[in-house]
Amino acid sequence: QTVVTQEPSFSVSPGGTVTLTCGLSSGSVSTSYYPSWYQQTPGQAPRTLIYSTNTRSSGVPDRFSGSILGNKAALTITGAQADDESDYYCVLYMGSGSFVVFGGGTKLTVL
Amino acid sequence: EVQLVESGGGLVKPGGSLRLSCAASGFTFSSYSMNWVRQAPGKGLEWVSSISSSSSYIYYADSVKGRFTISRDNAKNSLYLQMNSLRAEDTAVYYCATKGYSYGYHFDYWGQGTLVTVSS
């Protein structure tokens, strides 16, 4: 069974930079998994931030960027703002087997 | 403006059935793959099922395979999820979402969700 791993929680100071990661329990994440990232605040639907590793979705500020760092996908937020305090989820495309798998999510605190 | 509006959620007893609908507007529904994603109370997001634009390709998570059926009606711009043999662990907010236009697979637009509660 494919398990996608994310840090359960992270904190960042206002104006600071934070990098959240998305890995595999077995193996490395590459661009072939087309990693995508989603932001969700409590009680709201998810919002798409990044897809295909590093493409920002329409309307997403360039403070959000995606990449591959080592053997993981990464979401970097530069100049963190109070309203960036949210849950962040990554998704990996596994192909016809597991198809797509969500990571467990990272709760980001801005303080 | 893209709009996805889910409906059909509610309270159902274990072993019961429910049919969710997602009404789409603001885009060419028949050209896009569609998806259901759910979120149990206090938990993370979980992919449930996907269907290609012409219904040729359908995928399910192992947790719902054999119990849930995804379908669509392109003439009505609607997506459906028939849920049978419901269990307590199916309790969740169910979101419909479009597939984004890109290589690979990602979710693009999301509805606001409909709550399904499975309880006796």
Summarised one tens digit per residue, pLDDT across range A6-56 is 999 999 999 999 999 999 999 999 999 999 999 999 999 999 999 999 999
Q: Is some CB atom of chain A closer than 8 A to the CB atom of B107? A: yes
pLDDT bin (cut points 50, 70, 90) of residue B68 is very high
Residue with tokens 């849920």: B83
Distances (CA, A) of A7 to A21, A55, A98, B16: 7, 22, 22, 36
For all residues of chain A together, what is the average pLDDT? 96
Residue A104 forms contact with B (CB below 8 Å): yes
Chain A residues within an 8 Å CB radius of B95 = 45-46
Strands A106-110, A9-12: pairing is parallel
Give start and end residues of each alpha helix (H) in chain A: none
Nearest CB partner across the interface for B45, out of A34, A46, A99:
A46
Whole-number Å distance between alpha carbons of B116 and A92: 26
Query: What are the phi and psi torsion angles at A31 (to 5°)?
Result: -65, -20
Is the pLDDT at B25 greater than 80, yes or no? yes
State how far residue B109 is from chain A, nearest Cα, in angstroms: 7
On the question of pLDDT at B103 being above 90, the answer is: no
- In three-state form (DSSP H/G/I as H, E/B as E, the rest C), the secondary structure along A41-77 is CCCCCCEEEEECCCEECCCCCCCEEEEEECCEEEEEE
Mutation target for B interface from A5, A6, A41, A48: give the one with most B CBs within 10 A: A48
